[in-house]
């Protein structure tokens, strides 16, 4: 009884292994058949007794979908205006206004203006990040955090009340 059970387990394992190997082969089949194309070798200077075969990589078809890291081409992208290779966005928050520009992954402040009673502090811990803080003594605290992240512009506005 025990040897019969071991036999069935072994046969079951073998069948599943063969099926898994077949599934892998079936899934990789398009890649394996299109990666190498056989091209005739150039004619040698002197005749040789045996033919020569050279493997040349086949040209890959261009993808129909743009890569994820490609820069977006629309005039507006997630609230950011895009033109002349740069993203620009204006922020109108409780403490004032600011316009931020991102070009080549570098974030910079174009302009800012504080409302009455507010002050603006600017921090740039990295070239790809800019943090603006609109402060009012004893009042609200607004943070505009802009950065270039994963090949895209990103901004987050947070308001803290006392």
83 and 156 share a domain? yes
In this structure, is residue 24 part of a structural domain?
yes
How many alpha carbons fall within 13 Å on the CB side of residue 1?
0
For residue 121, the model assigns a pLDDT of 93
- Spell out the residues 6+ positions from residue 11 whose beta carbon is closer than 8 angstroms to its own: none
- Residue 1 scores a pLDDT above 80: no
In this structure, is residue 51 part of a structural domain?
yes
What domain count does the chain have? Answer: 2
The domain of 104 spans 76-160
In this structure, is residue 62 part of a structural domain?
no
Helix and strand numbers (H, E) in the chain are: 1, 11
How does pLDDT run across 19-78, given as a tens digit for each residue? 888 777 777 666 655 544 455 555 555 555 555 555 555 566 655 554 555 555 557 777
How does pLDDT run across 84-98, given as a tens digit for each residue? 889 999 999 989 999
51 and 81 share a domain? no
Residue that has been written with the tokens 């190997």 in this structure: 21
In this structure, is residue 133 part of a structural domain?
yes
**Cβ atoms 75, 81 nearer than 8 A:** yes
How does pLDDT run across 130-157, given as a tens digit for each residue? 999 999 988 888 999 999 988 899 999 9
Q: What SS3 class is residue 75?
A: coil
41 and 81 share a domain? no
For residue 35, the model assigns a pLDDT of 47
In this structure, is residue 99 part of a structural domain?
yes
Average pLDDT over every residue of 6-11:
86
Quote the CA–CA distance of 70 and 22 in Å, as a whole number: 36
16 and 45 share a domain? yes
């Amino acid at each position: 009884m025990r040897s019969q059970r071991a036999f069935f387990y072994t046969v079951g394992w073998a069948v599943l292994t063969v099926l898994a190997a077949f599934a892998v082969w079936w899934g990789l089949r398009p890649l394996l058949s299109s990666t190498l194309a056989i091209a005739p070798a150039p004619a040698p200077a002197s005749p040789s007794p045996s033919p020569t075969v050279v493997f040349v990589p086949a040209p890959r078809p261009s993808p129909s979908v743009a890569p994820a890291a490609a820069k977006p081409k629309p005039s507006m992208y997630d609230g950011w205006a895009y033109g002349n290779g740069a993203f620009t966005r204006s922020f109108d928050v409780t403490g004032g206004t600011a316009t931020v520009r991102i070009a080549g992954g570098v974030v910079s402040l174009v302009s800012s203006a504080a409302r009455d009673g507010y002050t603006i502090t600017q921090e740039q811990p990295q070239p790809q990040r800019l943090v603006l803080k609109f402060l009012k003594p004893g009042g609200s605290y607004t943070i505009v955090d802009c950065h270039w992240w994963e090949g895209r512009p990103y901004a987050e506005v947070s308001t803290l009340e006392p």
